Chains A and B, each alone.
Chain A
Amino acid sequence: MTLVWAALACALVVPSVAAAASPLLAWRDPVYIAAGFAGVVAMALMLVQPLLIGRYLPGIPARRYRQIHRGIGGVLVVSVAIHVAGLWITSPPDVIDALLFDSPTPFSAWGVIAMWAVFITGCLALLRKPLRIRPGTWRMVHTALAAVIVVGSVVHALQIEGTMETLSKAVLCALILVATVKVVADLRVWKILNRRAG
């Protein structure tokens, strides 16, 4: 049990500490640094989310997994908002280019696509009850959006030459991909599709 938690702590702490030690920080304003770290935090949380929903983390009461997943989802939305807002303050034209898909840097488009998928997921999570979205529909839509978020964010992060250290960033991205694929496989999300077709 402690081994799983220790491994998770390593997976989250090592890339964060490595980013905190980046030489680039010396030449950045606090707002830019905060924006970058909000992105790092969002990437780290993205690893925790599938682990929670797949109930791979030991020692948590069964009913708690979803509550925590929902809470972290909220923090994820806020992190992405801080990331984009901080970058906007640092260099408005670069962020406007990115949001309009007119940026010279390919990773911007991946990041913006992932951002919208995060925001849409957050909105749908809030509207799930008022709109009476059925559990099967929610699971399909959320899984599709999660796939967009994960792929978009991983490509976004890997292409960036920024404060994240290359190796720890690559390992975190790989873990996020593996955890996401595993939870989608374990929960057999596609069964919902089969059931509807049949």
Chain B
Amino acid sequence: MTSLLLDRRTVLAAGVTWVGGLIVPAVAAHAQGLAATPSMRGGSNNYLPNAPVVERIGGGGFLMTGTVRRAGDGAPLAGQRIQIWAHTTEGHERDPHSHGATLTDENGVFRMEMPQIVPAFGQPHGHLAYDSGDFKTVFLRPIMASAQDKSLNADFVLQPA
């Protein structure tokens, strides 16, 4: 069990360093057996299914970024819909206008402008979902290292549904 946890942690830690699409293909060759990202506790809280794809959520000013790759070979997945919501300067998590979706580019990278995330329920955190059917549903709840941060990153590794 311990070794399994360590493996997953190592994989996640490695995943965090792979920011930006350019280096992903180079790394992918070494990513045989890449494990799928598990959903995080509380990740699906206040989820409103089918958030519309939007240019940005509200007025922007904060950047949510991440990558979407396939479990196993780590290939970047293009055109995947990622739904994002959070408690921000413009609304609570439950407010529909706090929700929006974006699509990954050809490198499996997504970027969403949204209002500044502010601490709610004790932590400054965001919510992301992959819930489109082709792959198994994953809910993430990343936490900002500081409430002053202007961006937050979350990476998905998906396995076929």
Contact = CB atoms under 8 A, between A and B. Distances in A.
B42 A32 contact: no
Contacts of B141: 104
A91 interface: yes
A96 B24 CA distance: 39
Most chain B CB inside 10 Å of its own CB: which residue of A32, A104, A159: A104
Contact of B121 (A27, A29, A87, A102): A87
Q: Is the interface of B mostly helix, strand, loop or mixed?
A: loop
Contacts, number: 56
B69 interface: no
Interface string B130-161: 00000000000100000100000000000000
B10 interface: no
B33 interface: no
Q: Is the interface of A mostly helix, strand, loop or mixed?
A: helix
A26 B43 CA distance: 25
Contacts of A108: 122
A91 B94 contact: yes
Contacts of A26: 89
A91 B42 contact: no
Interface residues of A, number: 22
Nearest to B45: A93
A24 B121 CA distance: 11
B119 interface: yes
A162 B122 contact: yes
A94 B92 contact: no
A161 interface: yes
Interface in A19-51: 24, 26-29, 32
B118 A105 contact: no
A91 B118 contact: no
B46 interface: yes
A159 B122 contact: yes
Interface in B73-101: 87-90, 92-94
Interface of B: 40-46, 87-90, 92-94, 118-124, 141, 147
Nearest 10 A/B pairs, CB to CB? A104-B41, A93-B45, A104-B42, A160-B122, A161-B119, A94-B121, A27-B118, A27-B89, A105-B122, A94-B45
